[in-house]
A and B are shown apart, each in its own frame.
Chain A
């Protein structure tokens, strides 16, 4: 069963707009991570947020974590065509930081 569930499943926006993706999970976590996957490629790690953090920034990425609601969001600001990809959240849990469970992903399309 999936620990993380992304919402929406697909998102299409215009270049320059902001994109927000959400992730919900079911059990207690130590860390939550976001990954990007370009078509036909392996996943690439974007950012990790620990359970005791509420917000984290990395360049144009902003991640929030609400452990009371078991949810996280990924905001990409000033989107570019190169941001077109699938985005996955991944959580650890009872089995420790070395074993992640991935959601089904959000497919983001940036239109020029």
Chain B
């Protein structure tokens, strides 16, 4: 599993509240990613990071922000959660050069 953990693993929250999901890796990989997975849409990239404090938007970045102050941690924040953000969120790291990605176990988020 490339030493990737996500927390929390499950979360229920209310519309309008802020939510932060954490991804932690133990192998000092430079590239980290946040995806969401929804039925009928597969896996869609939200944001990714290519180093400490270096981040970029993905396909579905609206409503999400990220931060990476340390190599090992990549945080995803929903500033004001909406029901459309109910999803399963996966963090991944990438082996530089080859591009193979290794995924965390996922976080199930329900926004009521």
- B-binding residues in A (CB < 8 A): 1-2, 30-31, 33, 35, 40-45, 48, 88, 90, 92, 96-105
Residue pairs across A and B with Cβ atoms less than 8 A apart, 13 shown, are A1-B59, A30-B99, A31-B99, A40-B106, A42-B4, A42-B104, A43-B92, A48-B99, A97-B99, A98-B31, A98-B99, A102-B43, A105-B42
B90 contact from A42, A48, A101, Cβ within 8 A: A42
Point out the residues of chain B lying under 8 angstroms from A97, CB to CB. 97-99
Cross-interface CB contact of B105 among A42, A88, A96, A102, cutoff 8 Å: A42
Q: Are A41 and B94 in contact (CB under 8 A)?
A: no
Q: Is the CB of A43 within 8 A of B45?
A: no
Chain B, range 65-112, C-beta contacts under 8 Å to A? 90, 92, 94, 96-106
Q: How large is the interface on B (under 10, 10 to 19, 20 to 34, 35 or more residues)?
A: 20 to 34
How far, in whole Å, are A105 and B94 apart by their CA atoms in the complex?
20
Contact of A43 among B50, B96, B103 (CB under 8 A): B103
Binding site secondary structure of chain B: strand
Question: How far is the CB of A45 from the nearest CB of chain B, in Å?
Answer: 5
Taken together as a complex, chains A and B put the C-alpha atoms of A100 and B52 apart, in Å, by 20
Q: How many A-B residue pairs have CB under 8 A?
A: 61
Contact among B96, B101, B104, B106 for A100, CB-based, below 8 A: B101
A57 to B51 CA separation, bound complex (whole angstroms): 34
- Give B103 Cβ to nearest chain A Cβ, in Å: 3
User: A43 to B1, alpha carbons, bound, how many Å?
Assistant: 10
| A45–B102 touching, CB < 8 Å | yes
**In whole Å, how far is B15's beta carbon from the nearest beta carbon of chain A?**
25
Do A43 and B43 touch (CB < 8 A)?
A: yes
Q: A-facing mask of B42-55, CB < 8 A → 1, else 0?
A: 11110010100000
Assuming the contacts A48-B100, A98-B96, asked whether A42 and B106 have C-beta atoms less than 8 A apart, the reply is yes
